């Protein structure tokens, strides 16, 4: 069934179709309509789930950690300060190896209060042990939620599905909503190996000495490494079921490119249009869309960017004192390679400032025109 | 106090990691006897996180979920929701938190769960300070008691927070106090709580030999004195309104209680008199509430 729906509605449909059993969430702009929609689905009986209306995001994550370990497929959604407030529990969910799915609507962090899109919130959670997937459009949002449960339940790590504030969350697009039976055929019931229950009394997550702790972290890292292949195969199987895939990274016009721009989120769509226009002018520019940020798919990225002379990375985020985070990750991917691209790090669109086609073109032309970046961090569309 | 049969079943196995004389494992042992094997326990950061044993061991024969410090109540909510989804209405969910995890860092989650009337038993095992981190004051620490963050010369000048009134004012179906020195009373209250649906709260006084500066064989005697001096009263509250006193204390002077503990050693006679006044005031307030 095709319908014109917002990104947040696409989230709600994805959650309903995934037959989530426990939801716990707390409202925050621009995630709020997800909470409202899911409340409605539960109230109308469209979803057979418990919705715990908690008093905070910290409790939201804590309660679904508990519901997940007790054996129910569990979900929450948040944004910005809500995600930051969850931070302690994000570590806990990953360390507990629970297949929780969280949707984060990318929003800037205060102060001052800013409800618009920016990747500071999710990227600040980079090292918590969560898989992170960034979406470009509403179809991808819906599909990625369904895929996320399958990935999470395969590797026993939580997945964060990320979408841009307003540009996706509140923008309506045509979305193909799959039938429940189709989704059931792709995403089996949640059958955890272990489940908190009195018939099998165990202690979960008790104190752990230096003698064991490190091995648990080693296993998490190994699983993260394997997750790249798991996610690829889940996407492929999704393609067999539904006739569409989204990839972990998506190269576009990269084969002969002198310059490849690396993007994530909705900036990708804008950049694609700009690059098509520049191609018409004869400029050899390509695009690499990053969907998967954790695990960072280094092998796949090397496969695309090796041999490319110059790479421009567009970051809608900044790690103060260093620079854009995607740019850092791309640089570190290549630091031990003999053949490595010159990496230009562009910061733009913070706090929801529009990333216009002109801004993207400026970044591309800068990369084309300069043999190397003149500054470590190149700010675009900045009032100095 | 009515004598009742204490179940023979043991769910605490020998070999827990509590300090000698600690009140907490005594409390947990009786709680499990009262509630039986279809019980799951949530434990936030506290002495109990250590007492029940570290990976890969457990000193308890029912499932335990260790959770972050502030999350006892909401974790219990999550387990309840999940069990309900699986059609398990039989299992009792118990949150077992310290005074710090209840009066302080966990009060937001507890208040949220109580307002929703989520279906679990919350037991606050109150040793009147952050003991696991080495005796720092909490908002359950008594007026003028010594802790490492309220040293003599910089005393705690505020009384203990009235957690029972706070919980009662959420309108929860059942709230009760208990004390490790009165196991029959504690067991009766837990059995009663088990038969009620919604948020049930039990405030359990549990002395800490290290933190209260008492000998490890003094714990029960001191706990008993807390009740007999009316420093800590045994009562229950139905539906946030109906107060019942469960034990008529002898009304021994508080001095006799305070003098048993090193944490009150620095008190002057004048200060003890103020504490006596406070205790008398608390008691008359409780009596008024019992009258309605
Ligand atoms: C967020 C957070 N802050 C601080 C701590 C450190 N911490 C662990 S236990 C504890 C004190 C617990 O006190 P209480 O709840 O009274 O339990 P008790 O140790 O006395 O049994 C503290 C401060 C923590 N684990 N998590
Ligand atoms: Mg304590």
**Chain segment A176-207, per-residue pLDDT in tens:** 999 999 999 999 999 999 999 999 999 999 99
A140-162, pLDDT tens digit by residue? 999 999 999 999 999 999 999 99
Residue A123: per-residue pLDDT = 98
**Which helix or strand (DSSP H or E) is residue B208 part of?**
none
Kindly state whether B105 is in contact with chain A, defined as any CB-CB distance less than 8 angstroms: no
Kindly state whether B86 is in contact with chain A, defined as any CB-CB distance less than 8 angstroms: yes
Q: Please tell me the distance in Å from A199's CA to the nearest CA on chain B.
A: 8
Which residues on A lie below 8 Å from B54 (Cβ)?
A: 206-209
Residues with CB under 6 A from ligand 1: B 45-47, 69, 98-101, 127, 130-133, 138
Q: Report the topology of domain A249-379.
A: Rossmann fold (3.40.50)
How does residue A367 score in pLDDT terms, banded at 50, 70 and 90?
Answer: very high
Centroid of chain to Cα A42: 26
Query: For residue A193, what are the contacts with CB-CB under 8 A and spacing of at least 6?
Result: none
Q: Which of residues 106-165 of B touch A (CB under 8 A)?
A: 108-109, 111-112, 115-116, 118
Q: What are phi and psi of A174, to 5 degrees?
A: -75, 125
- Provide the mean pLDDT of chain A: 98
The closest of B12, B65, B2, B15 to B35, measured between CA atoms, is B12
CA distance A62 to A89: 6
Record the tokens describing residue B86, joined without a space: 């699986």
Q: How much is the average pLDDT of A21-25?
A: 98
CA–CA distance from A160 to each of A80, A94, A316, B117, B137 (Å)? 13, 11, 18, 30, 38
A265-293, pLDDT tens digit by residue? 999 999 999 999 999 999 999 999 999 99
* Chain A residue with the nearest C-alpha to that of B38: A198
Pairing of strands B174-179, B235-238: antiparallel
Domains, chain B, with CATH or none:
23-291 (3.40.50.970)
Mapped onto helix, strand or coil, the DSSP state of residue A348 is coil
A80-115, pLDDT tens digit by residue? 999 999 999 999 999 999 999 999 999 999 999 999
Which residue puts its alpha carbon closest to atom 5 of ligand 1?
B69
Strand partners, A323: A319
The class of domain A2-242 in CATH terms is alpha beta
Q: Can you tell me which atom of ligand 1 is nearest the CA of B130?
A: 13
Mapped onto helix, strand or coil, the DSSP state of residue B160 is coil
Residue B5: per-residue pLDDT = 86
Query: For residue B167, what are the contacts with CB-CB under 8 A and spacing of at least 6?
Result: B110, B114, B175, B201, B203
Q: How far is the CA of A327 from the centre of ligand 2 (A)?
A: 47
Place of tokens 């009620």: B196
Q: Answer yes or no: do A54 and B88 touch at CB < 8 A.
A: no
A295-341, pLDDT tens digit by residue? 999 999 999 999 999 999 999 999 999 999 999 999 999 999 999 99
Probe target for ligand 1 pocket from B43, B75, B125, B130, with the most ligand atoms within 8 Å of CB: B130
Strand partners, B60: B12
Q: Return the C-alpha torsion angle B42, A63, A213, B20, nearest 10.
A: -20
Number of H helices, E strands in chain B: 11, 8
Are B159 and B143 in contact by the 8 Å Cβ rule? The answer is: yes
Which residues on A lie below 8 Å from B49 (Cβ)?
A: 206-207
CA distance B158 to B167: 20
Count the helix, strand and coil residues of chain B and give each as a percent rounded to the nearest 5. 40, 15, 45
CA distance B222 to B23: 11
Residue ranges covered by each domain of chain A: 2-242, 249-379
What number is the ipTM of this complex?
0.96
The burial class, CB within 10 Å (0-12 / 13-18 / 19+), for A344 is: buried
**Which helix or strand (DSSP H or E) is residue A357 part of?**
helix A357-369
Q: How far is the CA of B46 from the centre of ligand 2 (A)?
A: 7
**Using beta carbons and an 8 Å cutoff, which residues of A are at the interface with B?**
21-22, 24, 48-50, 52-56, 58-60, 62-72, 74, 88-89, 92, 196-198, 200-209, 212
Probe target for ligand 1 pocket from B126, B129, B133, B163, with the most ligand atoms within 8 Å of CB: B133
CA–CA distance from A96 to each of A135, A332, B200, B280 (Å)? 26, 29, 28, 48
Say what angle helices A210-242 and A87-95 make with each other, to 10 degrees.
90
Q: Answer yes or no: do A72 and B85 touch at CB < 8 A.
A: yes
Query: For residue A166, what are the contacts with CB-CB under 8 A and spacing of at least 6?
Result: A30, A116, A117, A352
Place of tokens 């990747």: A119
Query: Least CB-CB distance to A71: which of B61, B67, B82?
Result: B82
Q: What are phi and psi of A85, to 5 degrees?
A: -65, -25
In a structure prediction context, what are the per-residue pLDDT tens digits for chain B, which is 292 residues long? 667 889 999 999 989 999 999 999 999 999 999 999 999 999 999 999 999 999 999 999 999 999 999 999 999 999 999 999 999 999 999 999 999 999 999 999 999 999 999 999 999 999 999 999 999 999 999 999 999 999 999 999 999 999 999 999 999 999 999 999 999 999 999 999 999 999 999 999 999 999 999 999 999 999 999 999 999 999 999 999 999 999 999 999 999 999 999 999 999 999 999 999 999 999 999 999 999 7
A2-242 and A249-379 share one CATH topology?
yes
Query: Least CB-CB distance to B55: which of A63, A64, A212?
Result: A212
Residue B3: per-residue pLDDT = 76
Residue B1: per-residue pLDDT = 65
* Chain A residue with the nearest C-alpha to that of B77: A63
Residue A83: how many CB atoms within 10 A of its CB?
A: 28
Q: How much is the average pLDDT of A170-177?
A: 98
């Amino acid at each position: 069934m095709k319908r014109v729906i917002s990104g947040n509605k696409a989230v709600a449909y994805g959650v309903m179709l995934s037959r989530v059993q426990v939801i716990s969430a707390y409202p925050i702009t621009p995630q709020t309509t997800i909470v409202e929609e899911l409340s409605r689905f539960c109230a109308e009986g469209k979803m057979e789930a418990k919705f715990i209306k908690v008093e905070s995001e910290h409790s939201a994550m804590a309660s679904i950690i508990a519901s997940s370990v007790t054996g129910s497929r569990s979900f929450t959604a948040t944004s910005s300060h809500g995600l930051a407030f969850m931070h302690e529990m994000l570590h806990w969910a990953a360390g507990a190896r629970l297949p929780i799915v969280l949707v984060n609507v990318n929003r800037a962090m205060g102060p001052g209060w800013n409800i618009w899109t920016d990747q500071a919130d999710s990227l600040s959670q980079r090292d918590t042990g969560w898989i992170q997937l960034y979406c470009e459009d509403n179809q991808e949002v819906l599909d990625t939620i369904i895929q996320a449960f399958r990935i999470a339940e395969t590797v026993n790590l939580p997945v964060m599905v990320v979408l841009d504030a307003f540009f996706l969350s509140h923008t309506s697009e045509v979305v193909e909503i799959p039938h429940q039976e189709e989704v059931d055929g792709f995403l089996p019931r949640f059958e955890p190996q272990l489940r908190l229950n009195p018939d099998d009394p165990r202690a979960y997550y008790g104190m752990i000495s230096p003698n064991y702790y490190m091995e648990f972290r080693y296993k998490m890292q190994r699983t993260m490494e394997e997750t790249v292949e798991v996610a690829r195969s889940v996407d492929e199987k999704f393609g067999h079921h539904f006739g569409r895939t989204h990839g972990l990274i998506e190269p576009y016009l990269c084969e002969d490119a002198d310059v490849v721009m690396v993007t994530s989120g909705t900036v990708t769509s804008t950049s694609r249009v700009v690059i098509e226009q520049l191609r018409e002018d004869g400029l050899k520019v390509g695009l690499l869309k990053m969907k998967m940020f954790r695990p960072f798919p280094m092998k796949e990225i090397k496969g695309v960017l090796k041999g490319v002379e110059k790479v421009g990375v567009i970051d809608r985020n900044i790690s103060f004192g260093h620079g854009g985070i995607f740019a850092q990750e791309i640089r570190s991917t290549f630091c031990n390679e003999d053949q490595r691209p010159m990496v230009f790090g562009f910061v733009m669109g913070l706090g929801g400032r529009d990333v216009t086609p002109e801004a993207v073109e400026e970044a591309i032309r800068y990369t084309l025109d300069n043999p190397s970046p003149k500054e470590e961090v190149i700010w675009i569309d900045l009032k100095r | 106090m009515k004598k009742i049969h204490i179940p023979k079943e043991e769910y605490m196995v020998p070999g827990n990691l509590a300090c000698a004389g600690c009140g907490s494992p005594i409390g947990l042992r009786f709680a499990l006897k009262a509630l039986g094997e279809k019980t799951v326990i949530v434990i936030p950061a506290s002495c109990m996180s250590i007492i029940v044993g570290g990976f890969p061991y457990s000193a308890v024969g029912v499932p335990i979920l260790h959770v972050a410090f502030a999350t006892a109540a909401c974790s219990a909510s999550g387990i309840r929701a999940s069990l309900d989804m699986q059609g398990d209405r039989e299992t009792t969910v118990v949150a077992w938190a310290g005074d710090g995890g209840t009066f302080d860092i966990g009060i937001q989650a507890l208040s949220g769960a109580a307002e929703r009337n989520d279906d679990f038993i919350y037991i606050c095992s109150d040793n009147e300070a952050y003991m696991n981190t080495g005796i720092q004051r909490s908002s359950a620490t008594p007026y003028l008691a010594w802790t490492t963050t309220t040293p003599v010369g910089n005393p705690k000048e505020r009384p203990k927070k009235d957690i029972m009134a706070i919980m009662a004012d959420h309108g929860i179906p059942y709230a009760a106090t208990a004390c490790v020195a009165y196991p029959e009373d504690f067991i009766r209250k837990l059995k009663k709580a088990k038969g009620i649906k919604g948020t049930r709260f039990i405030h359990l006084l549990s002395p800490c030999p290290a933190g209260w500066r008492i000998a490890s064989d003094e714990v029960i005697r001191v706990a008993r004195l807390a009740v007999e001096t009316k420093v800590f009263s045994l009562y229950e509250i139905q539906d946030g309104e109906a107060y019942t006193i469960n034990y008529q204390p002898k009304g021994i002077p508080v001095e006799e209680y305070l003098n048993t503990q090193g944490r009150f050693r620095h008190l002057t006679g004048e200060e003890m008199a103020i504490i006596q006044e406070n205790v008398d005031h608390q008691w008359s307030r409780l009596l008024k509430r019992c009258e309605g």
